[in-house]
A and B are shown apart, each in its own frame.
Chain A
């Protein structure tokens, strides 16, 4: 397991893991986004041969996170499952039965198209739109769905798969997945490794936590 980086938001402690997840210490809560489980299976079913190992690695990473942080609850900020049901989801259900006491909440994302009965069977509580967790913190899949951000609250979201471009000398450019903390919101990187990146253009006072292999690299931290 790789060492997480501490980040304080509204006096609460958040641990940023290079495994593309966030652990909220006070609430014993693991926050992830855009897991896209079943994506490789969906591709295969549609005639595009993507090896299953990609998915297995993601799932293993998830289990590692649970074992490391020992959270009481998991919040997925959308796109937990990539598409309609396929055999890869059985693997997920099997895993779910191993953690019966873990509470699991999903903020529905645009990819979450499975039937209600599936979530019930998987013991996942589903929230629509913007979920107000408490007085201070909200969870929403796509931040741009929130018409006006409440200045007294903090928003966690996903959806865009943020990536930051780093230009070195020698014209070498590299795009890294990152946590993007801007004002009173933080956009999480896509948890699944089988996802692309959207190049964000941070403003001056934004915090960026780039993921470089197994480390968190804080950029523009004030």
Chain B
């Protein structure tokens, strides 16, 4: 079957030609595969016709199946389901598809279904299914909660999952897996074709396997992997400070470099400035306006807490090249391309190669253009990450997205969804669920436990007297209580956010949203910053924060949770090699010309580090023991990311505690961690390898204090997804009267009275797999066993340990206090350093 000879291809190619386009070869490859009824994955970056690679494939298929009537045929039923993680993308996608449909003369309809779709529109979609439905994972599950949903999907040929690399490894991804398994189960006549679209990640094949798992049994594991192979040039340049701080600390340097980015903004049409946290983005916005008041009106702020209408305005203005610069967070990571964007500035470490590439790719969209990205360090040591990023990109070292396994919370929710609409049966549903990658190893026993959780509450029946959610009648599990059904529908989804309050001017006018816990720490009269404005808290009324403009010079910038991503393992590995290069430079083993500019400018810092301690080589683990007036510090530098360090710190503390009774406090960053105690820490070369052994690792993790605390934190999301805790919409009163409880309270209750509860088990599993990253921890310990552990006893704090130290007292201080205290520390240490040289 040659695609090019089919009428469908000819029609589509002619139309494309009339538009002045020529199909990319990867598009033709995808069309051919779709034509052959295959499933697969398209690997292509944004902005290069990835949408058409699948969408036009579906169109060609339709034309070929109806060669005489394709121009007339209406009401064909839902042909193509297009799953996208972003609501905002729906409109643009729909517009592009509609243009193509009109150009081709087809009678297809395109529907958009997400949280913003009006009731009226939904009704229309329900009466007559559009041929293409662009939908979010949550809304797809809502369709599965409707009675008679199977007939709605009867005609569906293709399910496309856009931005699969973003969904893989998340619970939304699991949600998609479950929905697909159900839809595949409905299809009796022709099998479903599944197509993923993904940017480049380290495990593309696995990504395909996860998505296509439900159809693998039809294809014996075969699938098409279509690669765009569009070589996009990326140029990376670090913004170098004039003077290198020998005592670096996170967050401080960045803003000082604001003058250096003004010329960059000046010479580009539009610049995107990516900041890692919403709090810092607020500060940058202020700083930029202060440095260049003439930019007022030409720069904008874009992050997740800003009012949606304003965000949409910013996006529109970006399209129309009305803005010189936009300061944004990951809120602009995804989505359609803004052609006017010529330059991207990344402030602070992006923590991973994939994210850095993605952000770089947001610039330079004209064919043949180069993506230009600047790296602006927030502390001097971070410059070495820029060197590591360049290296990693050169070597094509890109992170993998690890798929999630056995997410009971999502399963509990999904079974509830099925119980609302058509009900579910034990055996057939079990087999369908087992037919997903996530639940492939689910035993019937475990499935029964989940069902029991829904029907009886738990194993100990007398404990759950009066409980009723899902009931078994005539072999079918159903939910019949209207109130429960309604509440379930309102809570379908796996995105859990902090309780948010709306922020409004007392005189009227909406500003944005803010976390309840942040505002609860403020008193009326206090000032804070949101959406680039200084606001004074007047009062909180009816779940709304009422504010007025503040004239006070000082204001608190909210430090939002979740901004702290850990360093990826892949980047950590390259980073260690760069430290090795730095060590080589200090030891004059290589010439400055043989290494990166970033490492060269850091030489004074490394020299001081070497003078006080050492700069570790790739096969060395550095441990520093330092005594200060705060107590006895033990610093360890595995360069494995903060999550692994947090776990390792707990384990190490536990193991040292077995030698002698001792209390520690921990601090960590992406490079290393600190144990602090008021007594000497008994670590020396006689016991150090033992302390870093991977023997009894799991047992020691469980015994180390933090496990249950961490599990409790994980349980927060699980409890919401599993339907135990209801989160209100921002600013909305919690609807469920008398049913409020916190997840941590429920965690305590279950841990005490029903510790085998599936959701509690899941919380612990998530701690070990994601929080502790057990495999990564194990890899690290194995590596350490192979390496030389070097213990040094510096006389004072070293450049390496300084940022960790600063982080450790960041938490309980306002930023102003922090700044003063850090400045004093830096001065003292610098004096000590220069004083020593004079002698």
Residues of A within 8 A of B754 (CB): 51
The residue on A at minimum CB distance from B667 is: A171
Q: Are B753 and A51 in contact, with the CB atoms below 8 A?
A: yes
Is the Cβ of B745 less than 8 Å from the Cβ of A44?
Answer: no
Tell whether A66 is near chain B: CB-to-CB under 8 Å.
no
Q: Given the complex, which residues of B lie within 8 Å of A167, measured CB to CB?
A: 812
The residues in A between 41 and 74 inclusive whose CB is less than 8 angstroms from any CB of B are 41-54
Q: Which size bracket describes the interface of B in this complex?
A: 35 or more
Q: B837 within 8 Å of A by Cβ?
A: no
- Per the bound structure, the CA–CA distance linking A18 and B787 in Å amounts to 53
Task: Name the distance in Å between A86's Cβ and chain B's nearest Cβ.
Answer: 6
For the complex formed, measure the closest distance between the CB of B651 and the CB atoms of chain A, giving whole angstroms. 15
What chain A residues lie within 8 Å of B469 (beta carbons)?
47, 49
CA distance A39 to B746 in the complex (A): 12
A195 within 8 A of B: yes
CB of A86 within 8 A of CB of B458, answer no
Pick from B137-145, B212-220, B424-432, B658-666 the stretch touching chain A. Answer: B658-666
- The docked-state distance in angstroms from the alpha carbon of A20 to that of B616 is 55
Interface 1/0 per residue, B456-479 and A, CB below 8 Å:
111010111111110000000000
For A194, the chain B residues whose CB sits under 8 A away are: 741, 745, 749
**CB-contacts of B44-102 with A (<8 A):** none
Is A215 an interface position by the 8 A CB rule? no
With CB as the reference atom, state the residue of chain A lying closest to B748: A193
Known A-B contacts A47-B723, A48-B724, A171-B666; A53 and B463 likewise in contact (beta carbons under 8 Å): yes
CB distance from A190 to the nearest CB of B (A): 11
Instruction: Report if A87-B666 is in contact (Cβ < 8 Å); known contacts: A49-B457, A51-B754.
Output: no
CA distance A166 to B46 in the complex (A): 50
**In the complex, what residues of B have CB within 8 A of residue A183's CB?**
none
Contact B741 A49 (CB under 8 A): no
Hey, which chain B residues are within 8 Å of A8, CB to CB? none
Nearest B residue to A199 via CB reads B520
B742: nearest chain-A partner, CB-CB: A196
The answer to whether A50 touches B666 (Cβ under 8 A) is no
The distance from the CB of B593 to the nearest CB of chain A, in whole angstroms, is 45
Tell me, yes or no, whether A169 is within 8 Å of chain B by CB: yes
Give a binary string over B477-503; 1 marks a CB under 8 Å from any A CB, 0 the rest.
000010110010000000000000000
- Among A49, A86, A167, A171, chain B packs the most CB atoms within 10 A around the CB of A49
- The digit string for A139-167, where 1 denotes a CB below 8 A from any CB of B, is 00000000000000000000000000001
Decide: B738 and A170 in contact? CB cutoff 8 A.
Answer: no
A52 to B754, CA, bound (A): 11
**B749–A50 contact, CB under 8 A?**
yes
- Chain A contacts for B746, CB-based, 8 A: 50
Nearest-CB residue, chain A, relative to B676: A170
B402 within 8 A of A: no
Determine whether the beta carbon of B467 is less than 8 Å from that of A45.
yes
Number of A-B contacts (CB under 8 A): 89
Q: Is there an interface contact between A83 and B738, defined as CB atoms closer than 8 Å?
A: yes
Residues in chain B near residue A111, CB distance under 8 A? 738
- Chain A hits for B481, CB < 8 A: 47
Question: For the complex, is A82 an interface residue (Cβ under 8 Å from B)?
Answer: yes
Inter-subunit contact A46/B749 (CB<8 Å): no
Residue from A50, A86, A111 having most chain B Cβ neighbours under 10 A: A50
Chain B residues near A51 (CB-CB < 8 A): 457-458, 460, 463-464, 749-750, 753-754
Interface of B is mostly: loop
CB distance from B631 to the nearest CB of A (A): 9
Q: Which residue from chain A places its CB closest to the CB of B653 in the assembled complex?
A: A170
Residue of A nearest to B705 (CB): A172
Q: Which residue of A lies closest to B460 (CB)?
A: A51
The reply to whether B749 and A45 form a contact with Cβ atoms under 8 Å apart is: no
Bound state CA distance, A51 and B724, in angstroms? 13
Give per-residue flags for A16-54: 1 if the beta carbon is below 8 A from chain B beta carbons, else 0. Answer: 000000000000000000000001011111111111111
Contact B738 A82 (CB under 8 A): yes
Most buried by A among B453, B739, B742, B750: B739
CB < 8 Å neighbour of A86 from B466, B483, B750: B466
Given the complex of chains A and B, what is the CA–CA distance between A111 and B737 in angstroms?
10
Interface residues of B in 793-831 (CB under 8 A from A): 808, 811-812
- Chain A residues contacting B664 (CB-CB under 8 Å) are 170
Chain A residue numbers with a CB within 8 Å of B465 are 41, 44, 52, 87
Q: Bound complex: CA of A5 vs CA of B237, how far in Å?
A: 67
A144 to B812, CA, bound (A): 30
Within the complex, what minimum Cβ distance (angstroms) separates B652 from chain A? 14
Residues in chain B near residue A196, CB distance under 8 A: 741-742, 745
Check: B678 CB closer than 8 A to any chain A CB.
yes
| B115 CB to nearest chain A CB (Å) | 23
Name the CB-closest residue of A to B453.
A49
Q: Which residues does chain A contribute within 8 Å of B460, judged by CB atoms?
A: 51
Smallest CB–CB gap between A110 and chain B, Å? Answer: 10
Q: Chain A's nearest CB lies how many Å from the CB of B693?
A: 24
B: residues with CB less than 8 A from A are: 453, 456-458, 460, 462-469, 481, 483-484, 487, 663-666, 676, 678, 723-724, 736-739, 741-742, 745-746, 749-750, 752-754, 808, 811-812
* Shortest 4 CB-CB contacts between residues of A and residues of B: A49-B457, A170-B665, A47-B469, A51-B463
What would be 8 A-B contacts, judged by CB atoms less than 8 Å apart?
Answer: A49-B457, A49-B458, A49-B467, A51-B460, A51-B754, A52-B462, A83-B738, A170-B676
* Known contacts A51-B458, A53-B752; 14 further A-B pairs (Cβ under 8 A): A39-B738, A42-B739, A46-B484, A47-B469, A48-B723, A48-B724, A49-B467, A49-B724, A53-B753, A87-B465, A169-B663, A169-B678, A170-B665, A171-B811
